[in-house]
């Protein structure tokens, strides 16, 4: 829908800007590894586990946790940590200051951080990650893909002035039905 593309211009501009930055600077590995390990830690806390150790650097990282499951081990690949942190920072700032004049810059940053997440997720998965093998590579890729599509859809609904959450899920459900109908006709 062209209206949505126009509405999300600054999001897509931020996305494109990161693609350009990535193509010039390549992988900001320290930043990615820190966010990767932080995602494991956050999801461990969400599942009431404890983080016993945290290490992140250019050569890699690790988190020692008391609990693991599919969500914890695959969190860095479907949980766009820097996008979430950008949203949190904006919402906190919004309670103290007038931030509306910076809304387009905020959308730009969300696009930039989403591109960071997406590109480095693909990069990491192509490096044959233990996290993906631990849950079965095929399952992990499908799981990660589905949750990223869901997260991107929710992010665009959040940023949209015209699309509601109910409308988004109704449209997704309709499209799933259409795809199944096409497959069954074959």
pLDDT tens digits for 44-71? 999 999 999 999 887 888 899 999 999 9
Residue 28 has pLDDT above 80, yes or no: no
At 49 the pLDDT is 94
- The whole-chain average pLDDT of the chain stands at 88
Question: Any idea of the CA torsion for 116, 120, 121, 126, to the nearest 10 degrees?
Answer: 160
Residues facing residue 61 across a β-bridge: 56
Q: Which helix (H) or strand (E) holds 138?
A: helix 137-159
First to last CA, the chain: 28
Residues written for the chain: 186
Whole-number Cα distances in Å, 144 to 42, 86, 111, 118, 135 = 17, 21, 19, 11, 11
Residue 168 has pLDDT above 70, yes or no: yes
Residue of 42, 84, 97, 47 lying closest to 67 (CA atoms): 47
Residues facing residue 76 across a β-bridge: none
Q: Are 114 and 15 in contact (CB under 8 A)?
A: yes
Question: Any idea of the CA torsion for 12, 17, 19, 21, to the nearest 10 degrees?
Answer: -170
pLDDT tens digits for 102-147? 888 999 999 999 999 999 999 888 887 888 888 888 999 999 999 9
Local confidence band at 161 (pLDDT 50, 70, 90 cut-offs): confident
């Amino acid at each position: 829908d062209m209206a949505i593309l126009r509405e999300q211009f600054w999001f897509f501009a931020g996305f494109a800007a990161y693609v350009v930055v990535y193509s010039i600077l390549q992988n900001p590995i320290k930043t990615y590894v820190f966010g990767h390990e932080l995602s494991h830690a956050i999801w461990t806390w969400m599942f009431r586990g404890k983080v016993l150790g945290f290490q992140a650097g250019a050569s890699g990282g690790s988190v020692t946790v008391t609990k693991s499951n599919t969500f914890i081990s695959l969190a860095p690949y479907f949980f766009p940590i820097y996008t979430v942190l950008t949203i949190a920072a904006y919402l906190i700032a919004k309670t103290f200051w007038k931030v509306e004049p910076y809304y387009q810059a905020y959308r730009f940053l969300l696009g930039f951080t989403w591109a960071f997440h997406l590109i480095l997720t693909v990069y990491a998965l192509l490096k044959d990650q233990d996290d993906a093998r631990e849950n079965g590579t095929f399952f992990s890729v499908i799981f990660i893909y589905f949750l990223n599509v869901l997260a991107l859809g929710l992010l665009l609904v959040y940023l949209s002035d015209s699309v509601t959450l109910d409308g988004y899920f109704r449209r997704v459900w309709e499209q799933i039905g259409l795809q199944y109908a096409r497959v069954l006709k074959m």
